[in-house]
Amino acid sequence: MSPTRTARIVVLAVLASIFTIAATGARGSDVTPVYETRAPSGNGTGKVYMGREIANVMSHRRMSRLDRPGREREERTDLLVAALPVEEDDAVADIGAGSGYFSFRVAERVPNGVVYAVDIQQEMLDEIERRKRERGVDNIETLLGRVDDPGLGEQSADLIFIVDSYHEFSHPREMGEAMYKALRPGGHLIVVEDRAESKSRSSGKLHNMTEAQARKEITTLGFSWLRTESFLPQQHFLVFQKPTSP
């Protein structure tokens, strides 16, 4: 074979390799884009994940809504907290913690453990720190997450729960992969979202999810779906688990 032809073959092989890498990205053989874009709808970002348009994030300026007096009665948040599968010494992560509404309640259930209150808005975490000092609570740690990573250590949590926030994740695939790594083997992931199937739902368009959509998105990460509870007035309570072994 002539040197010229050999060089030409090498060049073609290199180009083919480059095109393959560009097409597949970091996911090897997955040539389908993770996200799509379209014109934003009401309350939406225009970014689409697995057929679902991602909703806009609720600003810290609306923090008072999280602590409204009637929330426990309307949503039965007391039942939600009681249903979380935790032990007294567990490490629990509250993703999208906001003002700490759930973080403080769950901290009472893990007196010998810790609650990681994770949010991407520093103003939310500042409010949690203020309340910690005011109430003398010492088993809550605030973490400023990124839009694609909650900032939790690998296998650092026994339970991760997300209440009315998952639908706002701008990078749900990356966040999901990071949460998977953060859970210990056999750990649980609880996703609570307003039921899109309900005609009487109180949240606006896109600020809710169907059970089928939530299950599709979470199980694609490697989690097993265990069950969906229906004891809450207007929300799904979905229970997932990380496998106990690879």
Cα 153 from Cα 68, distance rounded (Å):
32
* Every domain of the chain and the residues it spans: 1-32, 35-241
First to last CA, the chain: 48
pLDDT in tens, 50-108: 999 999 887 666 666 777 888 999 999 999 999 999 999 999 999 999 999 999 999 99
Give this prediction's pTM.
0.83
Q: Which amino acid is at 29?
A: S
CATH number of 35-241: 3.40.50.150
DSSP H/E element including 172: helix 172-182
Please indicate whether residue 199 or residue 18 has the higher confidence score (pLDDT): 199
pLDDT mean over 19-48: 70
Cα 203 from Cα 206, distance rounded (Å):
8
pLDDT in tens, 171-201: 999 999 999 999 999 999 999 999 998 754 4
